[in-house]
Chain A
Amino acid sequence: TQLLEQSPQFLSIQEGENLTVYCNSSSVFSSLQWYRQEPGEGPVLLVTVVTGGEVKKLKRLTFQFGDARKDSSLHITAAQPGDTGLYLCAGEKGTASKLTFGTGTRLQVTL
């Protein structure tokens, strides 16, 4: 079983703080995707990382894929209340194959 463990599970911070969410596995993935999911809705794709060591930026969000393609991180700078939500990582082996989802990190950003 390929497990993707995310840490922390819950994070409550104040507006303006920085945070990092980690996604770790013992398996190698060909790509890793980060999603955000609101209650009762489908996961919304934020980014896909494919190359080991790759760094991608999406406004205040920075995503990194580990050199060995077993782990990834999501860093948010100057968090805002609008960043509140459930963040999911999902790994894929091969192209267009099934996604294995992580355990999720629930982020709450307060004023």
Chain B
Amino acid sequence: EPEVTQTPSHQVTQMGQEVILRCVPISNHLYFYWYRQILGQKVEFLVSFYNNEISEKSEIFDDQFSVERPDGSNFTLKIRSTKLEDSAMYFCASSFRYEQYFGPGTRLTVT
């Protein structure tokens, strides 16, 4: 069964460093998303992407964040200068229409 994959599963970085989180969405899906979940809190929407451009973004998704689909399969989230409060699980999701399928997540720890 097709699934969303994410790498790495765990990333530790120092404050101020850049990180790139990678996702391979389900192959025939058209819409791509990033969400995050701070420990013990709700899953929060960051950004959605369709037709090679951002379709919607939340207040969390400021200038430090960017997304890219560099080729036909990968979807990346870049955080330019990480802060302690960026520590969270980051989930990639993809959909063809209504149903969003989530990846296993990348645990980002900023020290």
A96 touches B42 (CB 8 A): no
Given contacts A92-B98, A96-B95, are A41 and B104 in contact (CB under 8 A)? yes
Q: Is there a chain A Cβ closer than 8 Å to B75's Cβ?
A: no
Neighbouring A residues of B58 by C-beta, 8 Å: 98
B99 touches A42 (CB 8 A): no
Neighbouring B residues of A103 by C-beta, 8 Å: 42
Whole-angstrom distance between the alpha carbons of A102 and B98 in the complex? Answer: 17
Task: Across the A-B interface, give the 10 residue pairs with the lowest CB-CB distance, nearest first.
Answer: A42-B102, A98-B45, A96-B31, A101-B43, A31-B98, A43-B102, A48-B99, A42-B104, A42-B105, A101-B42
Taking beta carbons and an 8 Å cutoff, which residues of A are in contact with B? 31, 33, 35, 40-45, 48, 50, 88, 90, 92, 95-104
Taking beta carbons and an 8 Å cutoff, which residues of B are in contact with A? 4, 30-31, 33, 35, 42-45, 48, 50, 55-56, 58, 89, 91, 93, 95, 97-105, 107
